[in-house]
Structure 1
Amino acid sequence: MVLSTMAAALRKVALVGGFGKLGSHILTALHADATLDVTVITRHTSSATFPPNTKVVKVSDGYPTSEMVSAFRDQHAVVLCLGFAGDKYHDSLVESSIKAGVKHLVASAYGGSESKEAIELFPIAARKGRMVEELRTRETPGWSWTAITCGLFFDLYAPPSALSSFINEIQLYLQRLFRLRPSCPQSHDLGFGQCGILRHERGYNRRSVAKVLAKPEATANRRVYISSFETSLNKILEAYKKATGVADWDVNHVKWDVEVASGKEMMKTGNMWGMGKLALAVEVKEGFGADFEKAGLLDNELLGIKRGDVEATVARVLKEKL
């Protein structure tokens, strides 16, 4: 593969947040590219651990601009993977990357549909949308950005799972929604069983980051859309039947508008189960823009990322988590 002039120059990469459910996957992919010189930037108070021989730079909590400019200096690219709690630092980190002379930034805007309907319904979609708008206002010669739009992570949310944080509360909601366990063969259908849902795997996302760094001109100053597969609750259920050998499942049908109303009420009282309901609702509702393939938006071919298979993914998730 012949790299472009800019891609050939993006060899030194700083990763902010190379741990957790997504960051660790991204770090693995970056380390797998022998041409990249990767540095992880983390907070002094963080208890995160990293693979042996990982270069780590510690900074103060809050990512002070002066420290971040120093940490980013001489880096060619910055990859942000902050999580919900760190989103408030996103714009200041973008500013620091520009001041430090970084050439390209991969934003911490890993999300789903940015349609008007999705933004109005789902708070996280609105937050990611604001991030992208902020990036557009920051565009300057010599610096570019990319936002990877990938939807919900199927292998993260697919049950069964272990839970301990906000994102896992969403996961637990989906586990309760699906009830897809060999020992408890039940599932729920939102009333849109054929609609697309949960189409992406974290492994695809980690590869997409490395691929973006290899094609910075083609991905500059825009969203890129990637997907492992488009599937549905009904197809997921069929995949679980095949993987578990359990043919008979109890299906409890619930309605999209009822679940949305319930989710909104939960959010008003601070109950984060509501966030999970809204996350799923955005994925399955026809016309909310969550089906990137149908909309002709997918960049898998551009990035050289092959499509996946829901049955193979379900089988792998069950093998890993049971």
Structure 2
Amino acid sequence: MTNEIKIRHYSQKTLKSYTNWVYKLKSYTRLQDPQALSTSDVKSFLTSLAVEKNMSASSQNLAFNALLFFFRHVLGQEFGPIDGVVRAKQKPYIPVVLTREEIDKVIQHLTSPFDLVVQLLYGCGLRLFECLGLRVNAFNFDFGVLTIHDGKGKKDRTVPLPHMLLPELNKQLEKVKALHAKDLEARYDGVFMFDNMENKYPNSPREFVWQWFFPATYLTHIPETGQRRRYHLHESQVQKAIRHAVQKAQIPKRVSSHTFRHSFASHLLQANYDIRTIQELLGHSDVRTTMIYTHTIKSQTQKEAKSPLDF
């Protein structure tokens, strides 16, 4: 499973999630030999998730995708028809959205670098892992553009940098420069790299352009190799900081890091931006995913029908 997922360059989260569902199926079938598993075993397992475990439709779909991948790519078997499974009803999902005033209140209760992280989440519509995974070379200050490499589905995209953030972004860049110089002096082994990059370019982990824009406070020691590497800020730290800031701001909404991305899309839609433009900025493959944000704002359609020639 690990090899098949790594070959396709899926994320660590996907590996962890898919492996977890395979273990759950293994437990459900009482450690039965995987080669002896059939579609009926999976049907029974998925039905139990809805009937006995009362799991949501999204969890069932994730389980189905994980086991479909396991059968096809690990066991080398066709999954076969999966009809007749009791499924949880898919509920319409409307994301939580903050007003601009609420966002400003949250940011006021955040300290550095968490305030800048949240401003990028909202100002550029980033996912949390995209924001924390930014490296120095993602920022093009001359053209005011941010490039998100390896977004969800390993897709790259560009978004405009908010002009009001440029001074703060430059300050953060100077902090990264100072930390990088300190790390080089301490003869660290560089930042963690991706795929086969380090084998191709052995010096890349220590080059400035590949340093994390939001580096972790401490170096990570790797016992197997004895190396000391720099990782980026951990997502749990950001989520914790956001929770505390929301409490201090006394905002009666369930807010997570993703709420700022939802707010980004909703506010652009409210400003009459084209849905296709918003889709590109968010990096959605399907415009139907972006259409969910039409439910987060009031309708602003014209009551009186007019010809486009009269606009």
Report the TM-score when normalising by structure 2.
0.21
In our comparison, the structure showing a higher alpha carbon Rg is 2
Which is helix-richer, 1 or 2?
2
Report the TM-score when normalising by structure 1.
0.21
Which is strand-richer, 1 or 2?
1
